[in-house]
Amino acid sequence: MSQVKKAIIPAAGLGTRFLPATKTVPKEMLNLVDAPTILYVVEEAVNAGIEDIVLIAGRGKHAIEDFFDTSFELEDKLAQTGQLHLLDRLLKIRNVANIISIRQKQALGLGHAVYCGKPVVGNEPFAVLLGDEITIGQDGSPSVTAQLVKNFSENQISSVSIMQVSDEDVSKYGIAEVEKISDHRHKVLSVVEKPKPEQVKSRMALAGRYVFDSQLFEELKSGKPGLNGEIQLTDSMKSLLNKKGLEALTFTSQRYDAGDKLGYLKATVELALKNPALETEFKKYLKDLTQPWSRK
C-alpha cells in the first residue's frame, strides 16, 4: 500500500488579478496577517504528513525560495537581542520540510506546472496544493489535504476536494459530476473545466487540493492545450478518471482563494480574528466600522 509523502505546490502563475502588486512580488508571498500565503499552504501539507515539497516557481519568484532559506544576519540579530520567540519561528520555517524548487519557464497552465514536478515525484502518489489558496480547519478536524491523503492510503485511488458553488460561480471552476459513496466521499463521474451553468447539472466545484496516482503524469504528458490555450489539469483528470477512477471529498474547512482580491481580504479578516494578539481589538474595530452609530 503506497502512502502520499510528496506534494507539488504550483506557484508560478502570473498573478494578473493582483497587478501591479504582483509585478515584483509573487502573489503567493502576499501577507496574511504576519505570514505569506505560501507558508499556510506548506504547513497544511506538512501537517498532513508530506515530507518532500516540490515548489513550482516562475521568473521573479526568488522571494519564495528565499523565504524558506536561512537568513544568517536576521537570525543572528534576533539571537543577540533576545527575541527568541521570533527566532524560533524563523528556524521552524526553514526546517518545516524538505523544499525542492523547480522552475516553470513559461506559465503554460496549471497542468503544465504540475507536470514540471515529475522529475522529483517519479512513480509515487502525490498531493497538489494550489499556492494561492488557503484552508482554515475547524479546531481538531483534519485539513483538506489530510483528508485526501488518508483516503489514498485507505483506498489507493486519486481524489479531489469539492465544494458547492452558486450558479453564477460555476463558470469560474472545474465542475465535477459526482455520485455519493458515503458521508464526505463521492465517486467522480465526469469533470469539465469552467462550463456555463446550463452545460452541467452539478454545482460541485474543484477546490485547490488534490491527491493523484502518478499515472496523472502520463495523461499530462500527452495532454494538449485546452481552454485559453493552457494545459489544463482538468483535462488530464478526465483521462485519469477513465483509466484508474477518481473520487471526490467534501470538507468542513473554510477555503479562501487568496489569489483573488475579495478572497484575500476575507482570509485576512478571518485570520486576524483568530489571532490571539489581535482578536479583541480587531473585533471591536470591525463592530465600530459596521455599526458607525455605536462609535463614541
* Interface residues toward ligand UTP, by CB under 6 A: 10-17, 28, 56, 104, 107-110, 112-113, 130-132, 259
- To ligand UTP, the closest distance from the beta carbon of 290 in angstroms equals 29
Which residue in 250, 214, 22 sits closest to 135, CA to CA?
250
Phi, psi of 177 (to 5 degrees): -85, 125
- To ligand UTP, the closest distance from the beta carbon of 58 in angstroms equals 7
Closer Cβ to ligand UTP, 103 or 180, answer by number: 103
CA-CA-CA-CA torsion for 82, 88, 90, 93, nearest 10 degrees?
A: 180
For 248, the 3-state DSSP assignment is strand
Opening angle at CA 259, ends 255 and 261, nearest 5: 95
Closer Cβ to ligand UTP, 20 or 82, answer by number: 20
Closer Cβ to ligand UTP, 48 or 110, answer by number: 110
Query: What's 168's DSSP letter?
Result: G
Listed in order, strand segments (DSSP E) in 33-184 are: 35-36, 52-57, 98-103, 126-129, 133-136, 159-164, 174-182
Buried b (16+ CB within 10 A) or exposed e, 149-186: bbbbeeeebbbbbbbebeeeebeebbbbbbeeeeeebb
- To ligand UTP, the closest distance from the beta carbon of 130 in angstroms equals 4
Closer Cβ to ligand UTP, 132 or 235, answer by number: 132
- To ligand UTP, the closest distance from the beta carbon of 41 in angstroms equals 9
CA distance 200 to 191: 10
Q: Give the residue closest to ligand UTP by C-beta.
A: 13
CA distance 223 to 236: 6
Closer Cβ to ligand UTP, 7 or 78, answer by number: 7
CA dist list (Å): 42 to 53, 133, 145, 155: 8, 11, 11, 25
- To ligand UTP, the closest distance from the beta carbon of 158 in angstroms equals 19
- To ligand UTP, the closest distance from the beta carbon of 79 in angstroms equals 34
The residue count of the chain comes to 296
- To ligand UTP, the closest distance from the beta carbon of 106 in angstroms equals 7
How do beta strands 133-136 and 126-129 pair? unpaired
For 63, the 3-state DSSP assignment is helix
Closer Cβ to ligand UTP, 120 or 273, answer by number: 120
Closer Cβ to ligand UTP, 13 or 174, answer by number: 13
Closer Cβ to ligand UTP, 11 or 216, answer by number: 11
- To ligand UTP, the closest distance from the beta carbon of 71 in angstroms equals 24
